Structure formats: C-alpha cells, structure tokens
C-alpha cells in the first residue's frame, strides 16, 4: 500500500509498518515546509490504528541536522502570530508520542537540535555506530523548543541534561546509549531491518509504562 506524495517527506506503508523518511538530503533540514507537511500527514497516521509500527528515518547519510534557523528566525521575527506558528510545529511532532503502536526512530549520522527532539517523541531510538547527537540551541542563544529539555532530562537525569543542553556539545552513539537517549546501537546498514524485526515481535499496543520491559525483552543489543 502506497499513500500520498510529499515534497519533504517520503511516506509509505509496507506490510503494516509505516515508513516516514525525512527527504531533503543531505542534511534533511527541518524546514517550514517540512513542519507543514508533517501537520498534513498527522491525520492520516493517527487514523491508521492497525499499523504495527511507525519507523522514522532520514534519507541518505544523516537523520537530520535540525531546524533551518536561517529560515525559521526571520519567519518568527516578522510573524505576529509566531507563538501559534511554533505551537503548530510542536503539535506536528508531539502526537507521535501518543500513537498506540510503537514509534521507532532509526538514526544514522547527524541528529541535532529539533531532529533529536523529533526522535525523543518516538518511543524507541536505534542508531548507527557513527551517529552524532546534540542539542546545540543554547549556543545560538536559543533553547530546545520542542519538548527536548524535559524528555532529555527524563531519560538521562537532570544533571546530564543540563550539562549537554547548556554546553550544547555533541555526543556519540556510545554516549547516547549510556545516557539512555538511544536503546540500541547497530551497524547502520542493518538499522531499518532491526527496527522491523523489533516491531514484528512487539506484542500489540504500545504502553508507556512498559517501555523498559519492551527494551530489555525485545531490543537485541549489538555485541
């Protein structure tokens, strides 16, 4: 089953698994158009209650380098309704967290800023060995504005969240695993396949309280 065509997203459902690919390579920047298309897609994905899983990834070598600030900042500056514009960017992603089936981000290469916030709205995160993470917003005199502060802190403790968010420094896959930001590291070539294997053995509806149990029981860690 193939569904609609978008400019910034590649979206299809295959074997009851939804594949959402950020499709503006090489950096897959999250542009205003991307957020708008994510909003358009929201109704469709929410309606697909029989999906077994949703897998989010980036086209090419990177997940995404995050929001396009050169486009976003002037947009906010001249937009009188900037707050509701930002609110709609938030809801374009935040609903992913409430979906009844597992939402898995598969991360290769860079996963920075809003892109990490997007990944933090998914229930599970798998990454390649060469993946690089960070919330660099404070170094541009901003803050992570799409729920990243709270979710990072909830996964990794306040101390580490403050350290990484205030310094804005990047960290690698191994550190992300130690921090609890990702659930497994796999060779990047196998990532999507591993996510599919995980999704297929997943027992029905996703329930938040069971996250840790699912991770320990169904996520095969690389050795």
Partner 1 sequence: MKGKHQIEWEIRDGIGIITISSPPENYLYEPAFVPLESLKKWTADPSLKGILIHGKGKHFSAGGDLDRLFSLITDNHDLKAYLAAGTTLLEYLIGTDLPLVAAIQGVCFGGGLELALACHIRIAAENALFASPETGHGLIPGMGGTVRLPETVGQAQALRMILTGDMINAEEARMIGLIDIIVPRHEVFDYAFNMLRKMTDALPVKVIRSVLRTLRNATTLPAEQAITEENRIFCELAKEEAKRRSAESEKNRGDA
CA distance 82 to 168: 25
What contacts 131, CB < 8 A, 6 or more positions away?
63, 107, 108, 109, 110, 111, 172, 173, 176, 182, 185, 188
The site map against partner 1 for 146-165 (x = CB under 8 A) is -x-xx--x---xxxxxxx-x
Give yes or no for a contact between 176 and 182, defined as CB atoms under 8 angstroms apart. yes
DSSP strand pairing (103-107 vs 124-128) = parallel
Two structure tokens written together for 17: 């698994």
Q: Does 116 bind partner 1 (CB under 8 A)?
A: no
In the complex, least distance from residue 189 CB atom to partner 1, rounded to whole angstroms: 36
Question: Of the ranges 67-75, 98-106, 189-197, 203-211, which one interacts with partner 1 (CB under 8 A)?
Answer: 67-75
Query: In terms of CB distance, is 16 or 138 closer to partner 1?
Result: 138
Sites for partner 1 among residues 74-93 (CB under 8 A): 74, 76-77, 82-83, 86-87, 90
Q: Tokens 């599970």 — which residue?
A: 124
Query: Cis omega before residue 26 (within 30°)?
Result: yes
Considering only 3, 49, 98, 167, the residue that binds partner 1 (CB under 8 A) is 167
In the complex, least distance from residue 86 CB atom to partner 1, rounded to whole angstroms: 5
Task: Catalog residues that contact partner 1 under the rule CB under 8 A.
Answer: 72-74, 76-77, 82-83, 86-87, 90, 94, 138-143, 145, 147, 149-150, 153, 157-163, 165-167
């Amino acid at each position: 089953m193939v569904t609609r065509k978008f400019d910034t997203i590649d979206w299809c459902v295959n074997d009851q698994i939804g594949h959402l690919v950020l499709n503006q390579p090489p950096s897959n920047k999250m542009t205003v158009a991307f957020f708008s298309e994510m909003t358009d897609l929201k109704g469709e994905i929410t309606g697909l209650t029989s999906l077994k899983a949703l897998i989010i990834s980036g086209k090419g070598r990177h997940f995404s380098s995050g929001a396009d600030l050169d486009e976003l900042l002037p947009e906010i500056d001249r937009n009188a309704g900037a707050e509701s514009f930002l609110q709609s960017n938030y809801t374009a992603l935040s609903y992913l967290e409430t979906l009844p089936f597992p939402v898995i981000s598969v991360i290769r290469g860079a996963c920075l800023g809003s892109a990490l916030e997007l990944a933090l709205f998914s229930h599970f995160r798998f990454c390649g060995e060469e993946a690089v993470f960070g919330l660099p917003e404070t170094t541009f005199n901003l803050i992570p504005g799409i729920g990243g502060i709270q979710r990072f802190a909830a996964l990794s403790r306040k101390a580490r969240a403050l350290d990484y968010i205030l310094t804005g420094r990047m960290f690698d896959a191994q550190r992300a695993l130690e921090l609890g930001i990702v659930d497994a590291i796999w060779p990047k070539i196998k990532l999507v396949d591993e996510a599919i294997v995980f999704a297929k053995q997943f027992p029905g509806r996703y329930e938040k309280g069971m996250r840790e149990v699912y991770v320990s029981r169904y996520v095969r860690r690389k050795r």
